[in-house]
A and B are shown apart, each in its own frame.
Chain A
Amino acid sequence: MRRALRWLMAVCVVVATSTAAYAADPRAIDLRPLVQALGSGGYSGTEKALTQLSEAGDPAAVPVIEALQAGDLYVRKADGSVVVARKAGDAFTLTDPLTRAALGDAPAAAVEKIRINNSLRRAISASLGALTLMSPDAGVRRSAADAVFKSRDASALETLSAAIAKEQDKGVRAAMEQARAAILLTGEAASKMTDAEIQSATDTLTARGDRDALVLLNMVAGSGASDITKKSAAAAVSTLEQKLAFWAALQNLWYGLSLGSVLLLAAIGLAVTFGVMGVINMAHGEMVMIGAYTTFLVQEFFRAHAPGLFDLSILVALPAAFIVSGGVGIVIERSVIRWLYGRPLETLLATWGLSLALQQAVRSIFGPTNREVGAPSWMSGAFELGGLTITYGRLWIVVFAFAVFAALLVALKRTWFGLSIRAVTQNRPMANAMGIRTARVDALTFGLGSGIAGLAGVALSQIDNVSPNLGQGYILDSFMVVVFGGVGNLWGTLVGALTLGTMNKFLEPYAGAVLGKILVLIFIILFIQRRPRGLFALKGRAVEA
């Protein structure tokens, strides 16, 4: 029963998408007597007519059967003809089931519903499946084949074989063959098959190579089928499991990379303020949050004034978030942090205070609830790559994270500003003596780190809730990444972010999300104790000073 239901639902989808294709089909011949027969002889009469209708193999019967399934098929008492009737007010609107010609209205008393029972329901779905397999539309045939694969309804076997013989499209034929193999292996037919047939059926399923095939093969291997079938299935299971494990690992790697790039985005600004300047900015998360709210405001503007350009809003939000967060960062540096240089623990406390105030400020202005930030069309959807499913949103974030990283690297290495930053951090008095305005460099460096946090906020607004607490969720992770990677080393931050991201995602299937995170935290705590200066620590006297 359950199986039949599943089958039914699958077919409904197929039918719903394909009705239009049948409407114009010119081959509507010879079906009328069969359709008429649906209305006589009670359940058994209907069932008999249904079988004949199905065996005729004409897709034009599909809307009729569909109407029967939906309970829209009636017998007009006046002439005993079968009609489609839909309720309109107190009366019914009648149409011809095959031609769809309007037949006028009729009072409720003038028609009688063709009733169906469970057995009929199953027959209906089977014949719908069989008929759709013959559809002229390749997409419909394919969906139908998949539906049969899922239901493994033995009654579809004959139609399926016929469909395979006729099928021209390679992909659709493969799907049909898989469906047939599924029916053969799980049904009673299996006991009558030769070894070679069994082998070819299992091979067909192995070739399908997804989790459904694995479930099926596992079922066969553990069923009461013949030994040779079981053996063949078991062999196929192990091949398939390896293949699936490989793709699963790859998928995990992708998730890890994706999480890692999010961590990288959140941490990279911190790598500048903490790693390069040595300033502990606990309000870093709030810079991210401000970036996300800037995205929200930019999108609101686009929604209100240029809805047609909405897809570009993110591109405008990027510089806007950089400027807003960077600006807030500069204000913070000039007003608070510059008085606290050389006192990292005090800086930590003061910036924590700032983070509380910033959160409350945003809460007061925008309210405590999540704000809706939309995704542009080019960031929505997903595509398949082998056994991987990759969403465009995540893909863009990975690309973006690496782009930001590369840009920062170039900025620090190749520009005059980067040179001044390095000069100031290495030897402040000397840099001062050489005419570098150290106070200005401090402010701009802090602004740069905060601005990058703002960029991270734009990206995070796409995957996380934009709320006043957005930043808090990332601050500790960001510190972990920077400290794990080795303070003052951007490459360390990159490796740290990707390692922690991947580790998290690989632990998740075994330990669950929360325990996985706990394990990662414990790992970092232990790791820092083994290597207090992180993964890519610089050795030597400079560190000890």
Chain B
Amino acid sequence: MLLRFFLMGLDRKAGIVLTILAFLAVAVPVLTLWVPADSPFHLSVFTVSLLGKYLCFALLALALDLVWGYCGILSLGHAAFFALGGYAMGMYLMRQIGPRGVYGNPVLPDFMVFLNWKELPWYWLGFDHFWFAALMVLVVPGALAFAFGWFAFRSRVTGVYLSIITQALTFALLLAFFRNDMGFGGNNGLTDFKDILGYDIQADTTRVVLFVATVAALALSYMIASGVIGSKLGKVLVALRDAESRVRFMGYDTESYKLFAWTLSACMAGVAGALYVPQVGIINPSEFAPASSIEAVIWVAVGGRGTLAGAILGAVLVNMGKSYFTGALPELWLFALGGLFVAVTLFLPKGLLGLGAQLKAKLPGRKASPLPNAQTANQATGQTAGQKGA
């Protein structure tokens, strides 16, 4: 049955994506570890970690596309789930430092010693086991998303309102994690990691293995996402994206459908965060910043929402652009990013992957197919425009 589920989602696009990912999983280790350093084909470990970072972002974008592209839920707080997953992994890595910290305390991380804490807070218990941390990477973002979604969807908070409260959610978490009393390292976050599963986190092989793990997670998530989209459940999701009340009158409990996709998406974002942290070596509250969530949205928009593959493409392209600009022309990066937001919404409503279809639609004699979001959008404005100033 599981096989059938995955096969359901397999189409030509999925084939291309999975082939590219498989290629990366093989080529990158070979080029890094076995091609001599003086060869022009050699990849530095720095590049590998950079690529790994992009793919973590791609996984976050994929998760976001699942809810935005297919359920019409524009989350402006997905980075929160990403960061929570990252913190869960960071806590494991902190515990692995053991007595090698600056203060040499075998149990307490440095920042707790610094704060004069005497023992480990209860919510840090268990994080010395990898399996527990790995479980928490899924459970913590998932549980938060479930609780949040359960309330929000049941109360029929939709459209812009939902976007704004997701933003409030991540902002509240940002403020909370900045506090030292929370026990997550406050402003500095968690860093100075040493080992993961007993292997030196700085070692070349570890870095390559982490990269391959990221590729695998992305591939698996892609298959899950496209399996869900290809199933009848996915068709319900798309249907409710455009005409939720119609789906409800057909007897589908749309809230549970949204909750399913939302929670699944949050778990994926958590995994992305968990893979991100060991590769960049730090997790701090700035990951919760409202701006990072909104940036993730633009990755999806650039690639094309509602296409899955587009989210991956967009995340990688935009972040490559970011790396280039912040290195070469830091002054211009925000102009470029800001311009990208405007240009994509105005000229590329279907993103890069939709560009072909969009151009075709422009040709005379062909009727443009309606935008997937046109109807939801109208509903949302109807809600606000229908009301008048007091």
Name A residues whose Cβ lies closer than 8 Å to a Cβ of B.
272, 274-278, 280, 336, 339-350, 352-361, 364, 409, 412, 418, 421-422, 425-426, 476, 479-480, 483, 487-492, 514-515, 517-518, 521-522, 524-526, 528-530, 532, 536, 538, 542-545
Contacts and interface: CB of A to CB of B under 8 A. Distances in A.
A341 B381 contact: yes
A488 B384 contact: yes
Nearest to A545: B382
B339 interface: yes
B388 A342 contact: no
A544 B386 CA distance: 9
A426 B378 contact: no
A359 B334 contact: yes
A358 B382 CA distance: 30
B338 interface: yes
B239 interface: no
B172 A483 contact: no
B386 to A, nearest CB: 4
Given A336-B346, A489-B389, A518-B176, 10 more contacts: A276-B388, A342-B381, A344-B380, A354-B342, A360-B335, A487-B383, A491-B390, A515-B179, A529-B151, A529-B154
Contacts of A349: 294, 297-298, 301, 341, 344-345
A345 B172 contact: no
B342 A476 contact: no
Nearest to B153: A529
A188 B176 CA distance: 51
Given A348-B74, A476-B290, A357 B152 contact: no
A531 B338 CA distance: 34
A278 B172 CA distance: 25
Contacts of B335: 356-357, 360-361
B384 A487 contact: yes
B151 A488 contact: no
B171 interface: yes
A422 B389 CA distance: 7
Contacts of B160: 280, 344-345, 348
Contacts of B152: 529
Given A518-B176, A524-B165, A275 B334 contact: no
A545 to B, nearest CB: 5
A348 B163 CA distance: 10
Most A CB contacts (10 A, CB to CB) among B294, B377, B388, B390 go to B390
A505 to B, nearest CB: 17
Contacts of B381: 278, 341-342, 344
Contact of B168 (A353, A422, A525): A525
A352 B341 contact: yes
A488 B342 contact: no
B337 interface: yes
Given A278-B381, A349-B341, A545-B382, A521 B387 contact: no
A136 B134 CA distance: 80
A345 B385 contact: no
B161 interface: yes
Contact of B388 (A352, A358, A425, A536): A425
Given A278-B381, A525-B165, A543 B387 contact: yes
Nearest to A343: B377
Given A345-B163, A532-B157, A275 B389 contact: yes
Interface string B272-294: 00000000000000000010001
B163 A353 contact: no
A253 to B, nearest CB: 24
B164 interface: yes
Contacts of A542: 386-387
Most A CB contacts (10 A, CB to CB) among B169, B301, B342, B349 go to B342
A524 B387 CA distance: 21
23 contacts: A340-B345, A342-B377, A342-B381, A344-B159, A345-B160, A346-B377, A353-B341, A353-B342, A353-B345, A356-B334, A359-B334, A425-B385, A514-B178, A514-B179, A517-B172, A525-B165, A526-B151, A528-B165, A529-B151, A538-B387, A543-B386, A545-B382, A545-B386
A240 B168 CA distance: 41
B348 to A, nearest CB: 11
A525 B169 contact: yes
B340 interface: yes
A345 B386 contact: no
A353 B74 contact: no
Contact of A350 (B156, B331, B345, B388): B345
B155 A529 contact: yes
Interface residues of B, number: 57
A346 B349 contact: yes
Given A340-B345, A356-B334, A518-B175, A278 B164 contact: no
Nearest to A413: B389
Given A476-B290, A514-B178, A525-B169, A355 B338 contact: yes
Given A360-B335, A525-B165, A532-B155, A345 B171 contact: no
A268 to B, nearest CB: 11
B189 to A, nearest CB: 16
Interface in B316-373: 331, 334-335, 337-342, 344-346, 349, 373
A86 to B, nearest CB: 50
Contacts of A277: 385
B167 interface: yes
A320 B361 CA distance: 46
Given A278-B385, A352-B341, A532-B157, A490 B168 contact: no
A480 B168 contact: yes
A524 B168 contact: yes
Contacts of A538: 386-387
B168 A489 contact: no
A528 B74 CA distance: 17
Contacts of A483: 161, 164-165
Contacts of A421: 389
Given A280-B160, A360-B338, A489-B389, A522 B172 contact: yes
A210 to B, nearest CB: 32
A407 to B, nearest CB: 14
Nearest to B301: A349
Contacts of B334: 356-357, 359-360
Nearest to B337: A356
Interface in B28-74: 74
A412 B298 CA distance: 36
A356 B331 CA distance: 12
Most B CB contacts (10 A, CB to CB) among A340, A491, A517, A521 go to A521
Nearest to B157: A532
Contacts of A422: 388-389
Contacts of A355: 338
A521 B172 contact: yes
A260 B105 CA distance: 47
Contacts of B161: 483, 528, 532
Q: 3 closest A-B pairs (Cβ-Cβ)?
A: A353-B341, A357-B338, A488-B387
Interface in B75-125: none
A352 B387 CA distance: 25
B238 to A, nearest CB: 16
Contact of A490 (B176, B179, B338, B389): B389
B340 A353 contact: yes
A360 B331 contact: yes
A480 B166 CA distance: 12
Contacts of A515: 179
Contacts of A487: 383-384, 387
B374 to A, nearest CB: 8
Most B CB contacts (10 A, CB to CB) among A345, A418, A483 go to A345
A146 B87 CA distance: 55
B172 A346 contact: no
B159 A476 contact: no
